[in-house]
């Protein structure tokens, strides 16, 4: 996964948290952990209830330095929990435009093997991918809460060590799963789920593409307060609202027989960007095919959107 076309130029990290429960209003973060593509682990541990603010601050700062973060069920738990604990301390209103890659959702939706598995827990996926033996932790996730309560009562360094070891294994294994996921249809996932475009000055997080008639509609967001962008060309419209950070890109395709296509020469791109598009499999005689028989060419649409955003935001 780390080497695929959408991630290889980005700063990507695996991320996981341990908490005292499922409810952000009354539960707190025990610890957070990150793991790089090379297996380097960074962790923060909440040594007392009063120490949680520091852990949240350090975690948000580190998360903000990443372009993309890989989690397991992070879209529904880890990231919202962190965001709400951050809001409690007035640390930030929202996390910055970081591409959340929830492997649980991706595997459930795009991995055929998931349909025949009894469980899609992280450990079940590790087993299916031949990674289970790489674990060295001494406890399961359910043991972290009582062990943490014991730590708070006694200050036991062994209890803290076991929790941190479990969390470190979780993020390391998550990174290993990501390396193994070469079978996922990344062009389709990026088209349907969105991806992050990194330019020299901005990060633009796209939410995905929709084909409406003969136009591809994309929405996303970038940091607020940067110079506004408005481009109304024959082949596309691009708008960035500096007050909201919202980005809207519409790609207008021409139709012929069963094809939707765009005229590459009419995009006003630099020669190097134009040449990269001409090297795509769907490029013919100066035109780029974006869809055939109503089926989008995921790679072509993604690359065209990425190229236009970089040309206008750099």
Evaluate whether 69 touches 15 at the Cβ level (below 8 Å).
yes
Query: Do residues 19 and 160 both lie within one domain?
Result: yes
187 vs 153, 183, 193, 298, 299, CA distance in Å?
Answer: 50, 12, 10, 5, 5
Query: Do residues 172 and 215 both lie within one domain?
Result: no
pLDDT of 61 reads 93
Is there a domain that residue 82 lies in?
A: yes
pLDDT of 96 reads 67
Residue 314's pLDDT band, with cuts at 50, 70 and 90, is confident
Is there a domain that residue 101 lies in?
A: yes
Span 181-196, average pLDDT: 96
Residue 97's pLDDT band, with cuts at 50, 70 and 90, is confident
Span 66-84, average pLDDT: 95
Query: Do residues 155 and 237 both lie within one domain?
Result: no
Query: Do residues 130 and 37 both lie within one domain?
Result: yes
64: alpha, beta or left? (left if phi > 0; alpha if psi -120 to 50): alpha
Total domains, the chain = 2
Residue 200's pLDDT band, with cuts at 50, 70 and 90, is confident
Is there a domain that residue 2 lies in?
A: no
51 has a pLDDT exceeding 70: yes
pLDDT of 284 reads 93
> Which DSSP string do the residues of the chain spell out, in sequence order?
-TTSTTTTTS-EEEEEEEESSS-TTT--EEEEEEEETT--EEEEE--SGGGHHHHHHHHHHHHHT-SEEEESSTTTTHHHHHHHHHHHTTS-SS--S-EEEEHHHHHHHH-GGGGG-S--SHHHHHHHTT-GGG---SS-GGGHHHHHHHHHHH--HHHHHHHHHHHHHHHHHHHHHHHH-TTS-HHHHHHHH--EEE-SS-EEEEEEEEEETTEEEEEEE--TTSPPEEEE-SSEEEEE-TTT-EEEEEEEPEEETTEEEEEGGGG---HHHHHHHHTSTTEETTEEEEEETTEE-HHHHHHHHHHHHHHHH-
106 has a pLDDT exceeding 70: yes
Integer Cα distance of 173 and 171 in angstroms: 5
Query: Do residues 286 and 139 both lie within one domain?
Result: no
The Cβ of residue 293 has, within 10 Å, a number of other Cβ atoms equal to 8
Integer Cα distance of 147 and 149 in angstroms: 5
Domain with 57, as residue range(s), is 12-180
- Domain ends where: 135, 152, 180? 180
Task: Note if the pTM is more than 0.95.
Answer: no
- Domain ends where: 140, 155, 180? 180
94 has a pLDDT exceeding 80: no
Evaluate whether 44 touches 164 at the Cβ level (below 8 Å).
no
Query: Do residues 208 and 146 both lie within one domain?
Result: no
307 has a pLDDT exceeding 70: yes
Residue 142's pLDDT band, with cuts at 50, 70 and 90, is confident
Residue 139's pLDDT band, with cuts at 50, 70 and 90, is confident
Span 272-285, average pLDDT: 94
- Give the residue carrying structure tokens 């206008």: 312
For the stretch 23-49, pLDDT in tens is 999 999 999 999 999 999 999 999 999
Integer Cα distance of 47 and 31 in angstroms: 9
Query: Do residues 53 and 123 both lie within one domain?
Result: yes
Query: Do residues 118 and 165 both lie within one domain?
Result: yes
pLDDT of 95 reads 65
Span 269-290, average pLDDT: 95
Integer Cα distance of 62 and 18 in angstroms: 17
Integer Cα distance of 278 and 273 in angstroms: 9
pLDDT of 140 reads 85
For the stretch 207-264, pLDDT in tens is 999 999 999 999 999 988 888 899 999 999 999 999 999 999 999 999 998 999 999 9
Is there a domain that residue 204 lies in?
A: yes
What CATH number does residue 126 fall under?
A: 3.30.420.10
């Amino acid at each position: 996964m780390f080497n695929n076309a959408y991630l290889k130029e980005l700063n990507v990290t695996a991320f996981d948290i341990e908490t005292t429960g499922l409810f952000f209003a009354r539960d707190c973060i025990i610890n957070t952990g990150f793991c790089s593509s090379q297996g380097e682990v960074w962790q923060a541990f909440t040594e007392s209830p009063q120490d949680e603010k520091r852990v949240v601050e350090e975690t948000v700062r580190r998360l903000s330095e990443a372009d993309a973060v890989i989690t397991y069920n992070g879209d529904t738990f880890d990231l919202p929990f962190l965001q709400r604990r951050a809001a409690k301390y007035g640390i930030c209103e929202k996390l910055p435009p970081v591409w959340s890659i929830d492997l649980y959702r991706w595997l459930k939706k795009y991995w055929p093997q998931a349909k025949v598995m009894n469980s899609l827990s992280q450990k079940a996926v590790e087993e299916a991918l031949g990674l289970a033996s790489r674990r060295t932790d001494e406890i399961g996730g359910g043991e972290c809460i009582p062990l943490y309560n014991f730590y708070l009562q006694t200050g036991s360094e062994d209890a803290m060590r076991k929790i941190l070891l479990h969390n470190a294994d979780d993020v390391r294994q998550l990174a290993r799963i990501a390396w193994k996921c070469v079978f996922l249809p990344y062009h389709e996932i990026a088209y349907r789920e969105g991806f992050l475009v990194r330019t020299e000055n901005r990060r633009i997080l796209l939410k995905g593409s929709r084909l409406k008639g003969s136009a591809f509609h994309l929405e996303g967001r970038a940091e607020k307060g940067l110079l506004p962008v408005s481009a109304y060309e024959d082949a596309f419209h691009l708008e960035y609202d500096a007050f909201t950070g919202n980005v809207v890109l519409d790609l207008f395709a021409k139709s012929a027989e069963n094809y939707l296509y765009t005229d590459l020469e009419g995009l006003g791109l630099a020669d190097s960007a134009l040449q990269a598009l001409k090297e795509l499999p769907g490029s013919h005689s100066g035109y780029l095919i974006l869809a055939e028989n109503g089926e989008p060419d995921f790679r072509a649409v993604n690359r065209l959107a990425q190229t236009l955003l970089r040309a206008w935001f750099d």
